[in-house]
Structure 1
Amino acid sequence: MNIAIVFAGGTGQRMNTKTRPKQFLELHGKPILVYTLEQFQQHNEIDHIILVSIQDWLDYCFDLAEKYHLSKICAIIPGGNTGQQSIYKGLRKAAEQFSGDSIVLIHDGVRPLIDEETITKDLECVRKHGSAVTVSPAIETIALKGEEGKVGQIIDRSQCQLAKAPQCFYLKDILDAHYRAQVDGGKEFVDSACLMQNYGYKLYTVEGTPENIKITTPGDFYIFRAIIDARENLQILGI
């Protein structure tokens, strides 16, 4: 089984929206989250989707699943107090229904530009190596913070990659890492890749497209809108 666990639990504070969380903001009448879910719904190798969302928006998510015919969604559950806790709840839900040999693809609900080819390569990488972390090349100079406002060490960007999502593992392996984090006093990690690396798992990368952005700020939303509009215009022109 291949299961997408889509995390849509953020409140969108950096988006400066007071009406609704960022994942539910709409473009052309469709929420960002639906654009994301449709990528997994339409992929022929994805068997099921587990959606982890904000407690107060669960009913809305059920309505979206019905309205947009997201038939692969097998569970919609509330998240935890942190991103890591929310992902863990999604993994536990997966473990209730599927074997530990299933592949899970952990993905942000606000990364709607994930594409079919990247998902396919992620699955192939897990089958071959046991893990797949979607990345893209660093295209700007990266410098560590220095003291007193000075520029710290400048890192050769050819040696750097941006870790994105999906981040994909066998269900039994990622659950093992979460259990060990709990034994360590509920230790929190920035993402699943960091968690897995901390507990000795080898991580392998899959290079995705630069367009696979996380919509965090208003600027990100405008970039998303421009890409979607450009794609639609190309379709109209038959290109």
Structure 2
Amino acid sequence: MEINVIVLAAGMGNRMQHHQNKQFIQLAGYPILYHTLLVFQKMKAIHNIFLVVRNDEMSYVEKNILTLNDFSKVKKMVKGGNERPDSVHNALKSIEGEGLVLIHDGARPFIKEKDILKLIQVALKCNAAVLGVPVKDTIKSVDTHHLVIKTPDRRLLWAVQTPQAFDLNLIKQAYEKRYACSTDFWDDAMLIEELMNHDVKMVEGSYDNIKITTPSDLAYGEWIAKHQTDD
């Protein structure tokens, strides 16, 4: 069974307040996207990588990132869509056959191989699994006027990360159904939950698996890069 990875790197990253795509910003001496791709390139369990980038940045990625290492598992660069779901859908249409697909944010360079392997093992059994961590803060649900509606039980709340892993045919069917409804979906797993009426299993990941979105994230990322271990 082939295990494919979709790496999403087509976002604008406006919150980073930087002149270039956040995926291309230097982190520990290399572009953020380089670190992300390298994790999957090194894994024996991963067969193919489908890299989603903006059409006007494909040549930049080819010259400035893919040449930095032997990224032989990057089988195709896929044109990004107007929104994240469009980018995922474009990539899914590029993957043939059967197997698993992992969908991952290019701006999460600190994903650990051991967590990916745990995720794969669970997804192989139940067809849909996501990485996440228990929330540390108390969460309040509020209305449009910022009035508190309720306080959910923190023990039941997890912050969801990527990768998210799915049976390829299952997630393809979910994305086809997505375009027939007007509901907002906050992540790929929600399509499986709502449109396919299929259970999704949570797999505990690492708090270091941050998404670098703001300048403060980048500063924290530099700290992680200096202190991270392989455990």
Q: TM-score range, shorter-chain basis? A: over 0.9
Who is 1:111 aligned against? 108
Equivalence for 2:194 = 198
Once the two structures are superposed, residues 195-229 of structure 1 have per-residue CA deviations (whole angstroms, 9 ceiling, x without a partner) of 11111121111110111111111111111100101
Q: Give the superposition deviation at 1:67.
A: 2.3
Greater per-residue helix proportion: 1
SS in 2 for 1:155: coil
- By how many angstroms is 1:148 displaced? 4.1
- Indicate the residue corresponding to 1:42 in structure 2: 42
Give % identity.
33
| TM-score normalised by structure 2 residue count | 0.93
List alignment gaps of at least 5 residues for structure 2. Answer: none
Aligned to 1:92: 93
User: How far has the Cα of 1:146 moved from its partner?
Assistant: 4.3
Matches within 5 A, 1:126-205: 126-146=123-143, 148-184=145-181, 188-199=184-195, 200-205=197-202
Give the TM-score normalised by the residue count of structure 1: 0.90
CA gap of 1:176–1:128, structure 2 versus 1, over 3 A, is same
Query: Aligned-pair RMSD on alpha carbons?
Result: 1.8
Whichever residue aligns with residue 155 of structure 2, its letter is: S
- CA drift at 1:129: 0.9
Query: How much does 1:25 deviate?
Result: 0.5
Measured in 2, the distance between the counterparts of 1:168 and 1:150 equals 36
Deviation at 1:147, TM superposition (A): 6.1
Q: Which blocks of at least 5 consecutive residues in structure 1 are unaligned?
A: none
Separation in 2, partners of 1:90, 1:69: 21
How big is the shift at 1:113? 0.7
Q: Residues 6 and 50 of structure 2 are in contact (CA less than 8 Å); yes or no, is this contact kept in structure 1?
A: yes
Contact 1:181–1:188 (CA<8 Å) still a contact in 2?
A: no
SS in 1 for 2:103: strand
SS in 2 for 1:141: coil
Residues 41-98 of structure 1: CA deviation (Å, up to 9, x unaligned): 1111001100001111101222221222111100012111110000000111112xxx
